[in-house]
Amino acid sequence: MGELDGRVAIVTGASRGIGAAIAEAFGAAGAQVAVTARTLEEGTSRLPGTLRDTVGRIRDAGGTAEPFAADLSIPDDRTRLVKQVLDRFGKADILVNNAAVTFFTPVADFTPRRMALMFEVQVNAPTHLAQLVIPGMRERGQGWILNISSVAARHPSLPPGPMAGLGATVYGMCKAALERLTTGLAAELYADNIAVNCLSPTQVVPTPGTVFHGLTTENDPNAEPPEVMATAALALCRAPAATLSGRIAYSQDPLP
């Protein structure tokens, strides 16, 4: 039997990279996986990877998955997404908030529109999606919420290092907010047996459409394969809240 047999998982940003790897790992572990992103079909994005691709790989491996196209910057799309998942699968046991829109620009040059979009997708959307799935998790007496963060959430030291000029301040601000949401929500939901954790890559995961910080290929020795994140995500979404919750974890750190 799989570790996630009988559970339904929503994974956002699952058309490529970390989100796709997590969705596939959960499918292989027995979960019914609802994958969501903006890109449903080929030809609708300049980047490789679609929800159909992810679903196809899960099904080819013997798993169960359904694609749900949604723009998580739009509150109505978030509400519709969860309703569609509940209509299709009847519940949502696991929520993985992986989707992100990111611009690497120094604060002095950041436009209000771009900042609002980043905060909407990386902070407001995870908060709203959690609000939508928590009632059902409480009713069933268990649940798992996993937020995907970054080492950019850490406070920089002074004098600044070589990464300071890459324009990651707003990105780090959003991820720091997501980490604080994680620990606060973990405390609120501990008595409900709903585990809430945050997971960051230990090293950069090269993904189409991201800034690689000097990494150019998936074969770069400094790169982290997305499967490392998927393994850690699985560990954080199977233990009860009393055992593992409120953790700000890194993919290559040992987990129970």
Mean pLDDT of 70-76: 97
Q: How does pLDDT run across 138-157, given as a tens digit for each residue? A: 999 999 999 999 988 999 88
* pTM (predicted TM-score): 0.92
Model confidence band, residue 218 (pLDDT cutoffs 50, 70, 90): low
Q: How does pLDDT run across 42-63, given as a tens digit for each residue? A: 545 566 678 999 999 999 999 9
Q: How does pLDDT run across 232-242, given as a tens digit for each residue? A: 999 999 999 99
pLDDT at 215 over 50: no
pLDDT at 216 over 50: no
Quickly tell me which residue has 């002074």 as its tokens: 158
Q: What gap in Å lies between CA 237 and CA 244, rounded to an integer?
A: 9
Instruction: Report whether 96 contacts 233 (CB < 8 A).
Output: yes
Model confidence band, residue 107 (pLDDT cutoffs 50, 70, 90): very high
Q: What gap in Å lies between CA 178 and CA 102, rounded to an integer?
A: 14
- CA distances (Å), 97 to each of 17, 54, 130, in order? 14, 17, 9
Model confidence band, residue 208 (pLDDT cutoffs 50, 70, 90): low
Instruction: Report whether 185 contacts 196 (CB < 8 A).
Output: yes
pLDDT of residue 131: 98
Which of residues 205 and 107 earns the better pLDDT score? Answer: 107
> Where do the domains of the chain lie, and which CATH numbers do they carry?
8-250 (3.40.50.720)
Q: Show the tokens assigned to 39.
A: 């890109």
DSSP-H helix ranges across 141-201:
169-189
Phi, psi (deg, nearest 5) at residue 96: -110, 110
pLDDT above 70: percentage of residues in the chain: 89
pLDDT at 172 over 50: yes
pLDDT of residue 163: 64
Q: Give the residue numbers marked as catalytic.
A: 149, 171, 175
Mean pLDDT of 180-189: 98
pLDDT of residue 14: 95
Q: What gap in Å lies between CA 38 and CA 27, rounded to an integer?
A: 20
> Can you spell out the DSSP letters for 49-85?
--HHHHHHHHHHTT-EEEEEE--TTSHHHHHHHHHHH
| 29-55 as b/e: b if 16+ CB within 10 A | bbbbbbbbbbbbeeeebeeebbbebbb
pLDDT of residue 167: 86
